[in-house]
Amino acid sequence: MISNKRLVLAHFWLAFAIFGLAVLLGEWQMFIRSPLHGWIHNPDLYYRSVTAHGTVMGYVFPTLIAMGFGYAIAELSLNQPLIGRRWAWAGYALIIVGSISAVIPVAMGLDSVLYTFYPPMIGNAFYYIGVVLVVVGSWIWVALMGINLHAWKRAHPGAPVPLAMFANVAGAYLWGWTAIGAALELLFQILPVALGLSHTINAGLSRVLFSWTLHAIVYFWLMPAYIAFYTIVPRAIGGRLYSDTMARISFVLFLVFAMPIGIHHLFADPQIGSGFKFVHSVFTAMVSVPTLLTVFTICASVEIAARLRGGKGAFGWLKALPWDNPQMLALTFSFVMLGFGGAGGLINMSYQLDSTIHNTQWVTGHFHLIFGGAIVIMYFAIAYDLWPHLTGRAMQDLRLIRTQLWLWFIGMIVTTFPWHYVGILGMPRRMAYYDYTAPGMSAEGVAVVMSAVGGALLVLSALLFLTILYRNHSANRVEPAPFTFSQAIHEPTSLPLALNGLGLWVGLMIALTITNYGYPILQLIGLHDADVPAVYSGGQQ
Amino acid sequence: MNDKRSRLVSLRNPWFTTSVGATLALFLFSAFVGFIWLPSAQDDALFKGLLNAICGAAGIPRTWLSETNPPVAPKVPLSTVILTPEMLSGPGMRESVGRGATLALRCTMCHGARGVSAANTPNLAGQYSPSIYKELRDFQTGARTSAIMAPMVVGLSDQDLRDLSIYYASLPREPSPGADDASPALGIVATGSPMRNIAPCGSCHGSLANKLGAPWLSPQPRAYLKSQLEAFANGTRHNDVSGQMRNVARHMTQDEINASVDYYAEKR
């Protein structure tokens, strides 16, 4: 039973509302860059849009989802009222204030620096302050998740922590630690320049600090989706979770390996030694371990559901699955996109292969397929599953929900596969216009138009999604059955200390951060020759 | 609580020993490959030896190639000016304007009594001070050649050049209607030509964005703009740091040069 329904709904609605707006911006960007539209004569409009799209989709939207879902999990899995409800509202308010502070200068064209900040470009300080406020708001959530779990453990000494909460807190701690990199960059490097206290910036150091955040943030986005894989989908399709232990091991491995790998974003950066690039490449490869563990465990759980429904044979059980169940559809689409996206990711993370696709549209395709595809489709699934419990009304539009999920899946494939293809042809990303009349580029035109069409399907699907949620608020009142998470085949009765708390894994995460980031950061801090003049964006000089 | 921690962090806890041991082993293995094995496999004298391999892979800056390949000496003097955004601002501006106004008396013959030229020389009134300063320094060092300007600046100190720049920047810029409106701008000004590596003029020289050191061009005399663009194109002017203007101008067609010059000159 959720007692703080308004808090959870407020987070979800704000998240999905700004998501809807950012989807529109994304499609506009794809359209004006495609051969369907002439060259845009003020490229700054494009970069403004990219900055807004990236800031909303990268920072605000997934953070709000993780927070809202986290507050729901804390109550539903621990069966205790949320401790610190006022603080939770304060965090929510900080996110609103931060978002407004960030979006206004971006809309005015004062901060066309993209959500990755790209120093030595420097824009108006209010944008950066806004992003910091969003992060601070989310840190309140991190603290609350830790406090709620701690209180529950004190009241239930030795009892196994429910899997959903265990994973939720793992995600919170991961975010708490990983956001520090970008926070350090903003507070000690970018903001002093944006406020006029300094005019030079160590851009190489900034990029290293940002990479500290940049890759682990992806796993923070991913956590709610993985929590849904393990704790919602098996229950929703009438199965059992294959292994609770395997789930816990996956989450703690994400905690350990998500962090010390960000330098694989800097393979082309000269300020990092090749040795560190190699080490980060190896640790990035390790992320495939919890990913594959998850794929195995969830497929096994799905098979259990199929066999319970009478499925037979080596593959015949697939037919017995409840394919009309939105959770089943969402899981399938998510896994297909995760599979393709993950395979593409192997290229990105390998030190040598990366050079063929570095900074091309391939990269844009990759993270849209993983985040916009595999992860966001599970955000939809989470909303569909939780909504009746939040509104007390029946989810009646099952056919519409299936259409929406299909549209999102097809739209995302049609958008991102051509992006991967033109990336291999060498099309650079983050350009406001391309010369498709040039002989070397004309072959890319068709693929770019295809991805713009895919984007239109995504807009349609997003509208449908918002409509379904909105309509539910006026649907028939029902008394939904008590919310439950998936049951494992063998529910844990007692757990080893290491899997009933996160101390060991947080320790390893911090230790690996020190070994993998310590020297590059210290070396660059001492390298004063590396300070370069700021390049002011938005007409400041 | 402490008891729990001591049971967790203990060599008798297999979870602890396995996870820490495996992580350590993985780190040591990847560090060995990345810092010792791979660099040593490079066929490069500078990576030979354990210490060199480790230092190289760690990214310690060294003048690796200084002995084998000394830098190529340029045939012509190049610009040595380093501009930073704050160099011509701060306290003392008012005095600079006064001193600059006195020094500028020698400039009025060509650049006009108030920095607006009637003689096909650049308008200086309201020009960005770092842009003026850079050109004056380049005239002094010979990075930019001019039979007229070189003798005018030869005896001036660095402070004189700064004062002159600040003075001219302080004068009111000649009004140029629509100078900040990019919508009617030509293709070459607003978009450049990406496949020929021609950046849009407006992305540095105003209307889209301004970059430190790049002057605004609107309004400047047509003859001056054209002669300078052509001088960049054929390499007789070479004081653009990193050669960015030479690389742009050399790829422009005569029509594009004329069109962009007309665009900036007609905004008068």
- The C-alpha atoms of residue A467 and residue B192 are separated, in whole angstroms, by 43
Provide long-range contacts, Cβ within 8 A and 24+ apart, for B225-232: B225/B260, B225/B261, B225/B264, B225/B265, B226/B257, B226/B258, B226/B261, B229/B257, B229/B260, B229/B261, B230/B257
Catalytically annotated residue among A85, A309, A430, A471? A430
- Does a structural domain hold residue B203? yes
Residues of chain A with pLDDT under 70: 539-541
Domain end among B143, B170, B197: B170
Task: Please report which confidence band the pLDDT of residue B184 belongs to, taking 50, 70 and 90 as the band edges.
Answer: low
Q: How many domains does chain B have?
A: 3
pLDDT of residue B222: 92
Q: Could you tell me whether strands A531-533 and A121-122 are parallel, antiparallel, or unpaired per DSSP bridges?
A: unpaired
Would you say A248 and B15 are in contact if contact means Cβ atoms under 8 Å apart? no
Do B193 and B166 lie in a common domain? Answer: no
- The C-alpha atoms of residue A517 and residue A519 are separated, in whole angstroms, by 6
Q: List pLDDT tens digits, range A262-298.
A: 999 999 999 999 999 999 999 999 999 999 999 999 9
> ∠ at Cα B202 (B196, B208), nearest 5°?
125
Catalytically annotated residue among A48, A366, A393, A420? A366
Would you say B208 and B201 are in contact if contact means Cβ atoms under 8 Å apart? no
Q: Which amino acid is at A114?
A: L
Do B164 and B102 lie in a common domain? Answer: yes
> Annotated catalytic, A53?
no
Q: What is the ipTM of this complex?
A: 0.92
- Does a structural domain hold residue B51? yes
Assigned token pair, B34: 């990345």
Task: Please report which confidence band the pLDDT of residue B90 belongs to, taking 50, 70 and 90 as the band edges.
Answer: confident
> Annotated catalytic, A33?
no
- Does a structural domain hold residue B43? yes
DSSP β-bridge partners for residue A477: A393
Q: Which secondary structure element, helix H or strand E, spans residue A536, and what is its range?
A: strand A535-536
pLDDT of residue B85: 77
Domain end among B141, B170, B199: B170
Do B100 and B57 lie in a common domain? Answer: no
Do B259 and B192 lie in a common domain? Answer: yes
Q: List pLDDT tens digits, range A43-56.
A: 889 999 999 999 99
Average pLDDT over residues B27-50: 87
State yes or no: pLDDT of B146 exceeds 50.
Answer: yes
pLDDT of residue B117: 84
Q: Which amino acid is at A128?
A: Y
Interface test with A, best of B5, B27, B193 (most A CBs within 10 A): B27
- Does a structural domain hold residue B53? yes
Do B165 and B195 lie in a common domain? Answer: no
Do B99 and B154 lie in a common domain? Answer: yes
- Does a structural domain hold residue B175? no
Would you say A388 and A401 are in contact if contact means Cβ atoms under 8 Å apart? no
pTM, to two decimals: 0.92
Q: Which secondary structure element, helix H or strand E, spans residue A362, and what is its range?
A: helix A361-367
CATH, residue B197 = 1.10.760.10
Q: List pLDDT tens digits, range A196-238.
A: 899 899 999 999 999 999 999 999 999 999 999 999 999 999 9
Contact A282 B26 (CB under 8 A): yes
pLDDT of residue B218: 83
Do B98 and B164 lie in a common domain? Answer: yes
Helix A85-107 to helix A43-55 angle (10° resolution) is 170
> Annotated catalytic, A215?
yes
- Domain extent at residue B251: 187-265
Enumerate residues 426 to 455 of chain A having a beta carbon within 8 A of any beta carbon in chain B: 431, 433-435, 438, 440-441
Do B56 and B119 lie in a common domain? Answer: no
How does DSSP assign A430-497, residue by residue?
Answer: S-S---TTSTTTHHHHHHHHHHHHHHHHHHHHHHHHHHHHHHHTTS-B--PPPP-PPPBSS--SS--G
pLDDT of residue B182: 45
Domain end among B51, B67, B83: B67
> ∠ at Cα B259 (B253, B263), nearest 5°?
145
Contact B15 A498 (CB under 8 A): yes
Residues contacting residue B200 through CB under 8 Å, at least 6 positions apart: A43, B188, B189, B190, B191, B192, B208
State yes or no: pLDDT of B64 exceeds 70.
Answer: no
State yes or no: pLDDT of B63 exceeds 70.
Answer: no
- Does a structural domain hold residue B79? no
Would you say A466 and A407 are in contact if contact means Cβ atoms under 8 Å apart? no
pLDDT of residue A541: 42
For chain B, say whether A199 makes contact (Cβ under 8 Å). yes
Across the A/B interface, how many CB contacts are shorter than 8 Å? 132
Nearest residue, CB atoms, B15 vs list A39, A283, A504: A504
- The C-alpha atoms of residue B264 and residue B268 are separated, in whole angstroms, by 8
State yes or no: pLDDT of B248 exceeds 80.
Answer: yes
Would you say B118 and B153 are in contact if contact means Cβ atoms under 8 Å apart? no
- Does a structural domain hold residue B77? no
Would you say B186 and B180 are in contact if contact means Cβ atoms under 8 Å apart? no
Catalytically annotated residue among A367, A371, A384, A483? A367
- Does a structural domain hold residue B17? yes
pLDDT of residue B268: 41
Q: Between residues A27 and B173, which one has the greater pLDDT?
A: A27
Token match 């997003």: residue? A462
pLDDT of residue A301: 97
State yes or no: pLDDT of B266 exceeds 60.
Answer: yes
pLDDT of residue B183: 45
Do B166 and B197 lie in a common domain? Answer: no
